[in-house]
Structures are given as C-alpha cells and as structure tokens.
Amino acid sequence: MQRDSVHGIWSSQFAFILAATGSAVGLGNIWKFPYITGEYGGGAFVLVYLLFVLILGIPVMMAEILLGRRGRRSPINTMRMLAREERATRLWCFPGYAGVLAGFLILSYYSVVAGEVIAYVFRAAAGVFENQTPDGVRSILYSFQGNAENLLGWHTIFVVMTMLVVARGVRSGLEKAVRFLMPLLVILLLMLVFYGMTSSGFDRAVRFLFQPDFNKLFYRANESGSVVFTLEGVWVALGHAFFTLSLGMGAIMVYGAYLHRDASIGRAALTVALADTSVGLLAGLAIFPIVFSNNMAPNAGPGLIFETLPVVFGAIPGGALVGTMFFALLLFAAWTSAISLIEPAVAWLVESRRWSRARAATVLGMLVWMLGIASIFSATGVTLGDIATRIVSLFVVVEHPLRGGIYDSNWFMLIDTLTTRILLPLGGLTVVLFVGWRMRIMAVRDEAGFASRRLFRLWYLTLRYLTPLAVLAVFIVGIIEGFLR
C-alpha cells in the first residue's frame, strides 16, 4: 500500500537519520543524563539505562518509524487510520493524543532550560567565568536563576526561535544544519573529555560511571533520613531511555512519516540510538571529572552542567571561546529537539483543522510560553507547597507554610515525572502492542522490509514479549511501591 505525505518527504534515508538524531540528541543527553546519573548513584543506573535502550528503545523506535511511514500523517491520524485498516478500536489513537500533550508539556520546561543555555552562551563569551572558583560559578548560577524576569526573557527567545522553524516546515535547512553542527558538538565534547583525562578526578569519574554498585541504585535516603529499598531509579532509567531517544510521543513517528519506502528501518534506528547514547556517555565523561576534581556533589540536580562546565571554561586558555562554542552548539542541539517535540501537534492541526503551519505554530507557541512561566518559578525556588499555601491562604489564615512530601517538589518535577515516567512509556507500550499484537504480521513484515528473516524474528519477538513485559513490570512495581509508602 502506498500513501503520500502531505507534508513532504526527506531527500534521503541519511536526511531522515540526521533529523532523527537532531531530535534525539539534545538537553536530554547533556543536561539531564549527567544529573540523573548523579542523583541515582552512577554505574548501576547507567547500566540499567543502557539495557533499556537495547531492549526497549531500539524496538520501539523501529515500531514508531514503521507506523509513521505506513500512515504518512500526524501520529493521531496515522494511528486512527491504521487502526481502522486493522479493524481495531479507535482507542489505539491514545499514543497520538497523549503524545501531543506530552510534547507540549515537555517543551514548556525544555525551553526554559534552553533559555538558560542561551544566557550561558553570552556569559561565556563575556568571560564571566574566567578564573572563577567552583563556588563563584555556583553563585553566578544561583543569582541568575533567582531572577524570574531574566529567565522569562530567554525562555521567550527560545520559544520564538523554535516556532519560527516549525512555521516554515521542518525540512528546510534542518538537514544541512544537523550534518555540520552535530559533529562539531561531538568534537567539542571529546575535547572536554580529553581535558578531563588530565585532571585528578578522571579515574573516579570513570569508576563512578562504569562500575555498577547496585546498592547505590536501590537504596536511597527518604525524607526522615532513613535508608530504604526502592526501584525508583529503575523507573527513572526506563523513562530516560524513552526521553533521550524521543520515543513514546510520536516525534519519531512523524519524522518516519516523511521517510521514503525503500529506506531500512532497522539500520536507521540503530544508527540514531548509537549516536544518541554516545553523546550521553561523552557528556558524562566530560562532566564528572570536573565534579570529582573539585570535590563537588554529583547529585547537585538540574543545575549540574551549569555548575561544572564553566569551571573548566574559566580555567583553560581560550576557555571563553571554547565555552561560547559549547553552549552555542548545545543550544542548537536543544533547538532541533524542541522542533520535534511540537511537530506532531502542528502536523495534526494542519491536517485536521486545515490551519496553516504558521497559525498552528503561533497558537501552540503562545500556550507553551505561558505554561513555561510555571517552570520558571520552579527554577527560582517556588515549591508546590508555596503555591498551595498561597491558594489556601486566600480563604483561611495559614499559620505555617505547607512543607514536606510532595509539597517540597515543584511544578517542573511534577510535569517531568508525569511525562517522562508515565506518558512516554505508556505511549511506547501502546505502539509496540499495536505493531506486535494487532497488526497483521504480513503487513508488519512488508513494511519493515528486513532482508534477513532471522533479524526480523528477533525484532518481532522482542517487540511482542520482552518490550511490553519490561515496561509493565516497571510500572506495576512502581505503583505497588507508591501504595506501600
């Protein structure tokens, strides 16, 4: 069966790989991966995450590309059409709708962090970090993050940048830019890793990242300070495998919709996953030597890259230039990811509502911008407890602000958990169940176009059994744990 995409087609398989890599490689690899690795104790977390990329990430990515290419529309309409074709219920559209919601929620905080990256491009260029101590770098970060108006300005700039590209269509320019700038980012990361090798913390960093200590993953201090067993870290690793590969919300599906028929789905997915994983590991190898050489805390949280890398940029000759380039390339990586976060929603509005791309991008951009304000206040230190206290005090006199438990977390943590740990895995689960159990195997085999029967069987069986069981197991354990607490 042949369908055409109303949104155009990639010029080649390589162009698709570049675009998908542009989507996958982003803040998730360089900002998020190091700080969650730090929070969940290092090596064992990394190992579990790598395992999830292998048994979940790659099969799900292939399933998403396959569905997208077969349906050739936005994820919502693709799922609707394919479900009809298989005489299945419309409930299979769930990953389409959940994906639009997840992409929108993720982008609302993603663009706040990307905004901070823009600010750091200028700070590095201005030489602000020269000869700063780690404490100095940290206080620069804190005073920056304490200023909501400042953050809002940068956030606004990033939202506008993203929507400008989306309004014009994702293909023009994206290929060329990714082909050139992504390798440059890798070179810069390699330079930082080499610099790390010369520092005293390198051995400890390598041990931290690659020597699994499962006690550090499974035992964590709770609020009252006692150490308890928990599988939370495993759940976070699962979520991150989806997040970093842009899976579970239709981003790769919508890019797959623009892929031509004779491209190899397996090779494309493997290439993207390999590139994405390498960048994450390189980022870890760049950042943790700085952490250990300077006796910093690996579990500093979301500010980790802003606290560590500038220390190096301030210490090495030519650091202002290297730092500027690094943050500029990181900004670029975030940009190509952000575009893919909103593309499913834009494609859907264009198809179903007959909106122009420009109109869809403008409306969505304004919504993302508004919701982002909530994440800005998370960065300035406003907790859910503060918000609840404010609301309650409208009605009654509140003696003490609400503290403890969920009140101590913030809006950013709330939507990050909701999207990464729940919506993305559920979306991915639905996709593999549809391909593995609902589509006719003939249709799957035909669309996947594997040259080798053996490889097809391996992928198909993984998709049918291993992948869904792994997601379900983590979910069920997580829910039970939540109830026991």
Please give the residue ranges that form the binding site for ligand TRP (CB under 6 A). 23-24, 26-29, 106, 243-244, 246, 249, 251, 337, 340-341, 424
Residue for token pair 């030597």: 289
Whether 311 contacts 134, CB under 8 Å: yes
CA 413 to chain centre: 14
Residues 212, 216: Cα–Cα separation, whole Å: 9
Helices (H) and strands (E) in the chain, counts: 24, 2
Q: Least distance in Å: CB of 428 to ligand TRP?
A: 10
Q: Least distance in Å: CB of 230 to ligand TRP?
A: 24
Q: Specify the residue, 217 or 424, whose C-beta has the smaller distance to ligand TRP.
A: 424
Long-range CB contacts (< 8 A, 24+ apart) of 415-421?
415/105, 415/106, 415/108, 415/109, 415/375, 416/109, 418/105, 419/102, 419/105, 419/106, 420/106, 420/236, 420/239, 420/240, 420/242, 420/243, 421/235, 421/236, 421/238, 421/239, 421/478
Q: Specify the residue, 140 or 341, whose C-beta has the smaller distance to ligand TRP.
A: 341
Residues 367, 355: Cα–Cα separation, whole Å: 16
Q: Specify the residue, 27 or 161, whose C-beta has the smaller distance to ligand TRP.
A: 27
Q: Residue 379: CB partners within 8 Å, gap ≥ 6?
A: 112, 116, 145, 151, 412
Q: Specify the residue, 28 or 372, whose C-beta has the smaller distance to ligand TRP.
A: 28
Whether 463 contacts 59, CB under 8 Å: yes
Q: Least distance in Å: CB of 167 to ligand TRP?
A: 18
Q: Specify the residue, 308 or 420, whose C-beta has the smaller distance to ligand TRP.
A: 420
Q: Least distance in Å: CB of 374 to ligand TRP?
A: 19
Q: Least distance in Å: CB of 255 to ligand TRP?
A: 10
Residues 325, 97: Cα–Cα separation, whole Å: 38
Q: Least distance in Å: CB of 65 to ligand TRP?
A: 14
The tokens of 261 are what? 């028929």
Q: Specify the residue, 10 or 243, whose C-beta has the smaller distance to ligand TRP.
A: 243
Q: Among residues 23, 18, 6, 22, which one has the least CA distance to residue 169?
A: 6
Q: Least distance in Å: CB of 351 to ligand TRP?
A: 19
Instruction: Give me the residue whose beta carbon is nearest to ligand TRP.
Output: 28
Q: Specify the residue, 24 or 141, whose C-beta has the smaller distance to ligand TRP.
A: 24
Q: Least distance in Å: CB of 162 to ligand TRP?
A: 11
Q: Specify the residue, 310 or 425, whose C-beta has the smaller distance to ligand TRP.
A: 425
Residues 357, 346: Cα–Cα separation, whole Å: 7
Q: Among residues 406, 409, 403, which one has the least CA distance to residue 381?
A: 409
